[in-house]
Structure 1
Amino acid sequence: MCQEIAGIQIPDSRLAKDAVDILREYGSDLLWNHSNRVFLFGAVNGQNAKKDYDLELLYVSALFHDLGLTKKYSSPDLRFEVDGANAARSFLQQYQIPDESIRRVWDAIALHTTPGIAEHKEAEVALLFSGVGMDVMGDGFEQFPPHLREEIIKAFPRNNFKQEIIPAFYEGFKHKPETTFGNMKQDIVQHFVPEYKNKNFCSCILHSPWSE
């Protein structure tokens, strides 16, 4: 792997290399390329916006952000984002990382599919969210420097990403579709199982145990 891509220095500490090993072992080529693109898109956005952020924390956040989709880290009943966040927290605790830094990584991963909140939190959280949005839905595509975008894609190809990421999401949480209640991943479940219906928020209110 190149030491520098799109003007961003790839972290090469023992911590970073161990995180790479985990994603390589338990993830897939799809998640590997996606996670690295997310990191680089987020890092470039941070650099362009002159944000003060920890590059290594952003890197670990990106490498772990979708590990909750894998068999190794998927729980039977938690959102996949929380599974990935919990895995990252357990990983970082082995390296005497400060609690505040671990919290930022946990929040970044847990909130990476939560628009309206993530972008208003600490730099690492907001930048991971922006990197995910750029890679998955093209958020900020026109504003992103084209030459840097092409350099990132050359290093970590998309390889039919649009078509492959949706079933990859579904495979990660099809055993617990109820965890998509109240979040955008419900759209993924209904893409494959159109008849599936999650709880309805209004029904939850109207049929609550309160007597009035």
Structure 2
Amino acid sequence: MTTSLNNTAIPDSKLAGEATAILREHGTSLIYNHSLRVYLFAAEQGRRQKLRFDAELLYISAAFHDLGLIKKFSSPTERFEVDGANAARQFLTAHNIPEEQVQTAWEAIALHTTPGITQYMKPEVALLFTGVGLDVLGEGFDNFPPNLREEIVRAYPRENFKEGIVQAFFGGFAHKPDSTWGTVKADVVERFIPGYKSPNFCDLIANSPFPNS
């Protein structure tokens, strides 16, 4: 594993090493490389914005953020983001990390696909979202240093990533498509399950058991 790229370093603490080992053991190569890119993108964005953030906590959040897509960590009904957040909570709590830090990691992972909120939260929460946004959607692509971006991608390649990550998403919640309702991942379910249509919010209001008047 590359430990340093330019001024952005991957934490080399025992806790970070154990998180990496879990990611290596249970994640796919696609999720592993994606998670490391997300951290490096996020940490560099934080550095350039002169934000004060806990690099180790941000790294662990990145390492766990997509593990909810993996069968070992996937629940029958919860959103995959919550499954990953719960796995991180269990890991950090087992290492006696203070609850405030545990909650920050939980929020970062649980909200990493939720736009419009994280920028008002703690730096680790905001940065995980922007790191994911850059790697998956290319958000902020032109504002990130091109040489460093290319170096990160060389170290952790994007092998067929655009198609592969969508397949990974669907594989992670194909057994519980209703868990994506109200999230951007509902688009994935509708793309891959013939005839599937997410519930319509207006219909849910109209069908509420309360009378109209």
Q: What TM-score bracket applies, with the shorter chain setting the length?
A: over 0.9
Q: Secondary structure at the match of 2:71?
A: coil
Q: 1:68 — aligned with what?
A: 68
> 1:123-162 to 2 correspondence within 5 Å?
123-162=123-162
Instruction: Please report how far the alpha carbon of residue 95 of structure 1 lies from its aligned counterpart in structure 2 after TM superposition.
Output: 1.2
> 1:24-35 to 2 correspondence within 5 Å?
24-35=24-35
Q: 1:197 — aligned with what?
A: 197
Taking the aligned partners of 2:25 and 2:130, their CA distance within structure 1 comes to 26
Structure 2 spans left out of the alignment, 5+ residues: none
Instruction: Please report how far the alpha carbon of residue 2 of structure 1 lies from its aligned counterpart in structure 2 after TM superposition.
Output: 2.4
Superposed CA offset, 1:71-128 (max 9, x none)? 1000000000000000000000011111110010000000000000122211000000
> 1:29-178 to 2 correspondence within 5 Å?
29-178=29-178
Aligned-pair identity (%): 57
TM-score (norm 2): 0.98
Q: Secondary structure at the match of 2:134?
A: helix
* CA RMSD, 1 decimal: 0.8
Q: Given that residues 190 and 198 in structure 2 are in contact (C-alpha distance below 8 angstroms), is that contact kept between their aligned partners in structure 1? A: no
Q: 1:211 — aligned with what?
A: 211
Instruction: Please report how far the alpha carbon of residue 194 of structure 1 lies from its aligned counterpart in structure 2 after TM superposition.
Output: 4.1
Taking the aligned partners of 2:94 and 2:5, their CA distance within structure 1 comes to 28
TM-score (norm 1): 0.98
Q: Which moved more, 1:114-123 or 1:66-75?
A: 114-123
Taking the aligned partners of 1:9 and 1:184, their CA distance within structure 2 comes to 31
Q: Secondary structure at the match of 1:157?
A: coil
Superposed CA offset, 1:15-70 (max 9, x none)? 11110111111101000000000000000000000001000000000000000000
Structure 1 spans left out of the alignment, 5+ residues: none
1:115 corresponds to which letter in structure 2? P
